[in-house]
Copies of this chain bind each other. A is one copy, B any other.
Amino acid sequence: MREKLEQAGLRVTRQRMMIADLLFAKGDRHVTAEALYAEASVIPYPPSLATIYNTLRDFADKGLVREIALYGGKVWFDTQTGPHFHFYLEDREELFDIPEALIPSFDIPAPAGMRIAGIDVVIKLERLPESMNVAAPESATKRPNP
């Protein structure tokens, strides 16, 4: 953890260590600043909310986490910085990864004079009524926001 910060050129402080621990200890995570703050707040002498925000931004700048495009409201951060897509469960405000295996190959050319700086794919999910709970998985065949 310590090296992770040093490698990124960030000073190793108690707060940053604590935040890094929360983020990276238990595998991939998808968090908002508020959620992380709530989580940190059970620990004695937790970082302030402002520090959580600043730290998440610093981490994002250094490539330790990445920001995710989502509807209005809050900014999400993802500890997995590599290529992958997301499911978003609106009613629970939960964000999780789409298994790599399910991701189709993508080959959209950038317009002339531009380069692709990142791709964000978010598939919004809705919980089906109980009675349909065991229905066959639905497909998302090229149909953004039907």
Name A's B-contacting residues (CB within 8 A). Answer: 66-67, 69-72, 74-75, 81, 83-85, 87, 89-90, 98, 102-128, 132-135, 137-146
Complex alpha-carbon distance, A81 and B107, angstroms:
23
Given A105-B142, A145-B83, A113-B128 contact (CB < 8 Å): yes
Given A141-B105, A145-B118, A75-B75 contact (CB < 8 Å): no
Q: CB distance A144 to B114 under 8 Å?
A: no
Complex alpha-carbon distance, A44 and B87, angstroms:
45
Residue of B nearest to A134 (CB): B112
Given A115-B125, A120-B121, A81-B137 contact (CB < 8 Å): no
Specify which of B89, B114, B120, B123 is in contact with A128 (CB 8 Å cutoff): B114
Q: Is the interface of A mostly helix, strand, loop or mixed?
A: loop
Specify which of B102, B115, B132, B145 is in contact with A81 (CB 8 Å cutoff): B145
Q: This chain: how many copies in the complex?
A: 2
Q: CB distance B119 to A125 under 8 Å?
A: no
CB distance from A50 to the nearest CB of B (A): 16
Residue of B nearest to A133 (CB): B113
Residue of B nearest to A110 (CB): B138
Q: CB distance A104 to B113 under 8 Å?
A: no
Q: CB distance B118 to A137 under 8 Å?
A: no
